[in-house]
Amino acid sequence: MQSSRKTEDLLPAAQAACDRHRDLCAAAGIDLLVYSTYRDKEAQNALYAKGRTLPGRRVTNARGGWSWHQWRVAYDCVPIIAGKAVWGTSGENAKLWDQVGTLGEQAGLDWSGRWRRLKEMAHFQLRDLPHIEDVIATDGDILAAKEAA
């Protein structure tokens, strides 16, 4: 099972967008910790099991193969304030997450904090991705072609 936090494990376009996101956050005085980039199918299935066949709350709707993390175009992050991760999403923390999300969007990313289903404040992915069914059908070749263009 492989789960990475290295931005070098992202496709170059995703890594560049992540770097822009961190730079924009740093300019706003926000330290951003990237804690999840690439996940293999086994690691994704382990997350999918949470709240279903394993204890805990559901953290993803994506089974193995269906997560953008597996295709190396998504990452999860958390802002760090005074040396501590800010996981809360209410009050002042909500304002901080909104700022982190807006800066990610300015960096060219989709932010799942705006999604209607399973909002996840920490998740960012490349914008304008093809349908994941097409990515799966081509075993990722469609992403490689987009990256090369």
Token match 């496709």: residue?
Answer: 11
Instruction: List the chain domain ranges.
Output: 7-148
- Which pLDDT does position 101 carry in this prediction? 98
Task: Tell me if the pTM is above 0.85.
Answer: yes
What sign does the dihedral 117-62-50-96 (CA atoms) show?
negative
* Torsion (CA) 57, 99, 43, 47 in degrees, nearest 10: 10
Query: Encoding tokens for residue 42?
Result: 């086994």
Among candidate residues 106, 86, 104, the one with its CA nearest the CA of residue 96:
86
- Which pLDDT does position 32 carry in this prediction? 98
- Which pLDDT does position 96 carry in this prediction? 98
Q: How far apart are the first and last CA of the chain?
A: 31
Distant-in-sequence, close-in-space partners of 97: CB < 8 Å, separation ≥ 6:
79, 86, 89, 113, 121
Cite the DSSP H helix spans in the chain: 12-27, 41-49, 92-106, 132-137, 141-148
Question: Confidence band (pLDDT; 50, 70, 90) for 147?
Answer: confident
For the stretch 5-59, pLDDT in tens is: 999 999 999 999 999 999 999 999 999 999 999 999 999 999 999 999 999 998 8
Which CATH code fits 7-148? 3.30.1380.10
Angle at 63 between CA 34 and CA 96, to 5 degrees: 30
For the stretch 54-108, pLDDT in tens is: 999 988 889 999 999 999 999 999 999 999 999 999 999 999 999 999 999 999 9
Token match 């982190």: residue?
Answer: 100
Examine the pLDDT at 149 and tell me if it is beyond 80. no
